[in-house]
Amino acid sequence: MGKLFRRLVAIVVTVSAVLQMFYVITIYSMTKPNRAFPIGCPSNYSHRSSSLRPKHTNVAFLKTHKTASSTMQNLLHRFAERNNLTVALPNEACDFYQFCYPRNFSAHFVHEHTLQPNMITSHMRFNLAELRRLMPNNTQYVTILREPGSMFESLFSYYYEICPSFKRVPNGSLEAFLDNPWRYYRPDEDESMYARNTLTFDLGGDKDRLEVDLDEYAQAFVAEIEHVFSLVMITEHFDESLVLFRHLLSWDVEDILYVKLNMRTPSSKRRFSPGIHAKVRAWNALDARLYDHFNASLWRQLAVLGPELVAREVNLLHRAQERLVKDCFGDQLLQLRLVAQIKNNKTRPWVPDNEVGILGYELPTNTSLPHNLCLKLIMPEHQYSDDLLLMASHRKRRSTPSTVTKLQ
């Protein structure tokens, strides 16, 4: 039975790799001019970084909360699978597919079958020393930030049932919480990181820094993040951020195609007044400083590339995505479903509470492209992590015992 299982896993991994390579070739042909599907790549296009240097494959993505980071993670997972790269994954001691979050990250949290990784993408609390111990020396560090107002509203809705600071609020009123946050917030209790300066906490900072030295601390913390991270993406400008990401790593357009994951239903989103928005920023002052700085930084970097180039690449990305979605889903719109309505376990997102209005996808039975390729495009974090661990474990079993790496 053991030999049969290993052979079956080998066949699955091989077929998956072949199918994904087939699709890469297909999409690559789309990005060339004068093809059957011209998607706007002009003949004088001279910014394909991959023609100048090899693709960079060592990436540490600090996955922040409620920032479209699941969409970015899926993109990275598909690239890793296509290129036979190792993605660091949490071991059995860490729950919920996170690196023992909210504890500070340790290299000892990594599953032994995924040591010597090229990428790391799962939720963690940033710890640069431990990541440098784990990752290759030439690793590029990337993260993503979201505007604090919309992000905090999303955090409040998503984690309401599991965060005591939110749960104490009568009638689930975000406005009531913001009127007097210290009435409900307990800095040291479980899940408090979702209730204040969550971005700062994820990045390893002090979410409850005292007002007396807040300005000095914020300035130093921003400088530290800027020094470590090669790119800080912005959720509200996701596609423009991907243009910078592509150039940073010398990737091709087909490497950054995506569909949005972990979206909420429009009816579950609250709208609030400018006054409430100001209260969110005041309560999350460190997150607001981070966002304002790196949003401005993003646009300075885009200006260096040039507005025309950025607009052309965003348009190229959109047209390639439209073709991809059509090939996977047909002429119909993406089949968005509430989590409870999704029948396929492989595409059903995890949610902390069934009342949270999170959407996922159903994949049609007949697709123009290989089924597995389209499936991976919409596969949520937990299921994709399971698949990656299975592949890594298979690779490790094929290696000799002497090659298994142990962290000292």
Domain boundaries, the chain: 2-258+266-311+382-395
Is residue 256 within 8 Å of 242, Cβ to Cβ? yes
Q: Strand order in 87-88's β-sheet? A: 87-88, 119-120, 59-62, 140-145, 231-234
Residue 20, φ and ψ in degrees, nearest 5: -70, -35
The pLDDT of residue 321 is 95
From residue 173, alpha-carbon distances to 112, 157, 176, 357 in Å are 44, 10, 5, 17
Q: What is the chain's pLDDT, residue by residue, as a tens digit (408 residues)? A: 445 445 544 554 454 444 444 444 444 343 333 222 232 333 322 335 545 689 999 999 999 999 999 999 999 999 999 999 999 999 999 976 999 999 999 999 999 999 999 999 999 999 999 999 999 999 999 999 999 999 999 999 999 999 999 999 999 999 999 999 999 999 999 999 999 999 999 999 999 999 889 999 999 999 999 999 999 999 999 999 999 999 999 999 999 999 999 888 877 777 778 889 999 999 999 999 999 999 999 999 999 999 999 999 999 999 999 999 999 988 666 778 888 888 888 988 888 776 677 888 888 877 788 889 999 999 999 999 999 999 999 888 887 565 455 555
pLDDT of residue 333: 62
- Of 110, 407, 115, 155, the C-alpha closest to 284 is 155
| Beta strands 140-145 and 336-338, pairing class | unpaired
Query: Looking at residue 355, what is its pLDDT?
Result: 67
Instruction: Report pLDDT for 37.
Output: 28
Those residues with Cβ within 8 angstroms of residue 218's Cβ, 6 or more apart along the chain or in another chain: 209, 285, 286, 289, 290
Give the integer Cα–Cα distance in Å for 290 and 285: 9
Bridge partner residues of 120 (DSSP): 60, 88
Q: Which of 208, 205, 236 is nearest to 223 (CA)?
A: 205
Pairing of strands 87-88, 336-338: unpaired
Please give the Cα distance from 143 to 228 (Å, whole number). Answer: 11
In sequence order, what are the beta bridge partners of 143? 62, 232
- H/E segment holding residue 338: strand 336-338
> 319-345: per-residue pLDDT in tens?
999 999 999 988 666 778 888 888 888
The structure's pTM equals 0.85
Question: Do the Cβ atoms of 385 and 375 come closer than 8 Å?
Answer: no
Strand 359-361 relative to strand 119-120, pairing? unpaired
Q: Say if CB 144 and CB 235 are below 8 A apart.
A: yes
> What's the pLDDT at 103?
98
pLDDT of residue 10: 52
SS3 294: helix
Give the C-alpha separation, 140 to 142, whole Å.
6
Quote the crossing angle between the two packed helices 69-82 and 2-30, to the nearest 10°: 110
Q: What is the predicted pLDDT for the residue at 5? A: 45
Q: Are 88 and 110 in contact (CB under 8 A)?
A: yes
- What topology is assigned to 2-258+266-311+382-395 in CATH? Rossmann fold (3.40.50)
Instruction: Tell me the backbone φ, ψ of residue 62, rounded to 5 degrees.
Output: -80, 105
In this prediction, residue 35 carries a pLDDT of: 29
Task: Evaluate the omega torsion of the peptide bond into residue 102 and state whether it is cis, within 30 degrees of 0.
Answer: yes
Predicted local confidence at residue 197, as pLDDT? 99
The per-residue pLDDT for 309 is 97
pLDDT for the residue numbered 407 = 59
CB 219 within 8 A of CB 22: no
pLDDT recorded at residue 7? 56
